[in-house]
Amino acid sequence: MGAPPVQRRLRRATAMWETAVLVGGPADGVQVRVADRPLVLQVTLPCPVEGTAGELTVEALHVYRRKGGQPPLRYGFDPASP
């Protein structure tokens, strides 16, 4: 018996793009273009690596969650994530 078939959610051929503002955290005030209003955005910042790390890279991860309310579209910093 093989694995069950995977159901895939089809994406719309055309995405609705709009500008969103990030509120709070390290990206406060930054404007980004998003497609189809995702619930969560992820912002990463590179961290310097000391010593001989070879090809290793480290990034700080910051999460922004979509906020309701009046336009413009806003995403608020979530200090509890991840």
Domain ranges of the chain: 17-78
Number of other CB atoms surrounding residue 74 within 10 Å: 17
Cα–Cα distance measured from residue 19 to residue 33, given in angstroms and rounded to the nearest whole number: 5
- Digit-by-digit pLDDT tens for the chain (82 residues) are 566 566 556 556 688 999 999 999 999 999 999 999 999 999 999 999 988 778 889 999 999 999 998 899 999 999 998 6
